[in-house]
């Protein structure tokens, strides 16, 4: 007799995977806690936009502290950062970005930098959230209002879902500020004496996430966190390595960090969206022709696995998201600007 005699079928490759059609593979995930007893907030890389959209449409108590103004047309709202996440912070690719966002919202960190873009000004920490504003003062006012709303979001969220996207980022050498985009790609000017490329390792990722967890639990002692890793590959890498190799590094580091924290804390869980889309048994069937973006069928399949464990509340009149008409083209992904900048 030995321990492997008693492992369930889902833990055996020959039972769970071999000779099975990818769509018949089941039991990807077993939840650690319930999420129906309080409000839910979501943030992360562009793939996380799908998660928030599905949570909202499925009747969960999804937080949106900066909702679309009633007078704004639905098709225009994403261009101004509305409806993407639980607040208008845009895509948050790295744990360092997330940590610094929380620090700013709690008044622990000050950020005064403003970038010029064409004939206006943008917030360097969410440069694509809206068209350039006319003055630097307007950027500061918009930022202050946004951060007060973000603080309210963190305090209101019983469950926070964060999609980990990248280990690569650019920082300000003087302030340590982590940007969502390389300066110069969507505002500002790149200056090698002021800006530095960083590719975070496992220990750095864990340290940043631990710091975030500590702050989140300080303001929300009953708070729960679900980490997931985006299956979307890097658009470009600043390491000059092959982009596939760099993508593997990023995803491996993020996945390992999420696994470590999930094992350490009973209030932290991991949902395997990366594995459901990108693992070898899935045979790349859920990727678009560019082999990077996830197609609508993949998104639907991921969310079915999530809702198999986290059953949507029984709500009258709730309609689900039609993923046949919600494609990668509907997502707002700042990383696409790296490709655009490269061909200018």
What CA–CA distance (Å, rounded) separates 63 from 61?
A: 6
pLDDT for the residue 46: 86
pLDDT for the residue 334: 63
Tens place of pLDDT for every residue, the chain, 344 residues?
Answer: 999 999 999 999 999 999 899 999 999 999 999 998 899 999 999 888 999 999 999 999 999 999 999 999 989 999 999 999 999 999 999 999 999 999 999 999 999 999 999 999 999 999 999 999 999 999 999 999 999 999 999 999 999 999 999 999 999 999 999 999 999 999 999 999 999 999 999 999 999 999 999 999 999 999 999 999 999 999 999 999 999 999 999 999 999 999 999 999 999 999 999 999 999 999 999 999 999 999 999 999 999 999 999 999 865 444 455 545 445 545 556 665 556 455 44
pLDDT, tens only, 153-194: 999 999 999 999 999 999 999 999 999 999 999 999 999 999
- 299 within 8 A of 48, measured Cβ to Cβ: no
Burial 205-233 (b: 16+ CB within 10 A, else e): bbbbbbbbbebbeeebeebbbbbbbbbbb
| DSSP letter string, 101-120 | HHHHHTTSS-----EEETTE
- 124 within 8 A of 183, measured Cβ to Cβ: yes
pLDDT, tens only, 296-312: 999 999 999 999 999 99
| Domain boundaries defined on the chain | 31-342
pLDDT, tens only, 73-95: 989 999 999 999 999 999 999 99
Q: Kindly state the DSSP code that residue 92 receives in the 8-state scheme.
A: -
């Amino acid at each position: 007799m030995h321990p492997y005699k008693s492992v369930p079928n889902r833990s055996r490759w020959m039972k769970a995977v071999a000779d099975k059609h990818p769509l018949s593979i089941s039991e990807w995930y077993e939840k650690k806690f319930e999420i129906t007893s309080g409000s839910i907030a979501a943030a992360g890389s562009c793939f996380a936009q799908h998660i928030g959209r599905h949570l909202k449409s499925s009747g969960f108590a999804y937080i949106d502290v900066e909702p679309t103004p009633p007078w704004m047309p639905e098709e225009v709202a994403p261009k101004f950062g509305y409806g993407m996440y639980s607040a208008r912070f845009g895509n948050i690719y790295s744990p360092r970005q997330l940590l610094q966002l929380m620090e700013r919202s709690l008044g622990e960190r000050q950020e005064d930098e403003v970038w010029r873009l064409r004939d206006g000004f943008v917030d360097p920490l969410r440069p694509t959230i809206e068209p350039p504003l006319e003055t630097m003062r307007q950027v500061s006012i918009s930022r202050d209002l946004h951060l007060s709303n973000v603080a309210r979001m963190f305090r209101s969220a019983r469950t926070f879902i964060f999609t980990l996207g990248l280990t690569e980022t650019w920082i300000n050498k003087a302030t340590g500020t982590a940007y969502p985009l390389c300066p110069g790609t969507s505002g500002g000017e790149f200056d090698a004496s002021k800006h530095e490329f960083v590719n975070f390792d496992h220990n750095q990722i864990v340290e940043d996430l631990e710091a975030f967890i500590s702050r989140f639990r300080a303001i929300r002692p009953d708070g729960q966190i679900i980490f997931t890793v985006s299956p979307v590959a890097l658009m470009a890498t600043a390491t000059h390595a092959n982009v596939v190799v760099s993508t593997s590094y990023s995803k491996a580091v993020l996945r390992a960090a999420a696994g470590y924290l999930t094992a350490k804390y009973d209030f932290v869980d991991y949902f395997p969206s990366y594995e459901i889309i990108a693992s070898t048994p899935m045979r790349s069937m859920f990727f678009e022709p560019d082999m990077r973006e996830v197609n609508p069928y993949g998104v639907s399949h991921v969310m079915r696995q999530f809702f198999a464990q986290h059953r949507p509340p029984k709500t009258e009149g709730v309609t689900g998201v039609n993923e046949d008409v919600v494609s990668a083209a509907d997502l707002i992904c700042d990383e696409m600007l790296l490709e655009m900048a490269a061909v200018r």
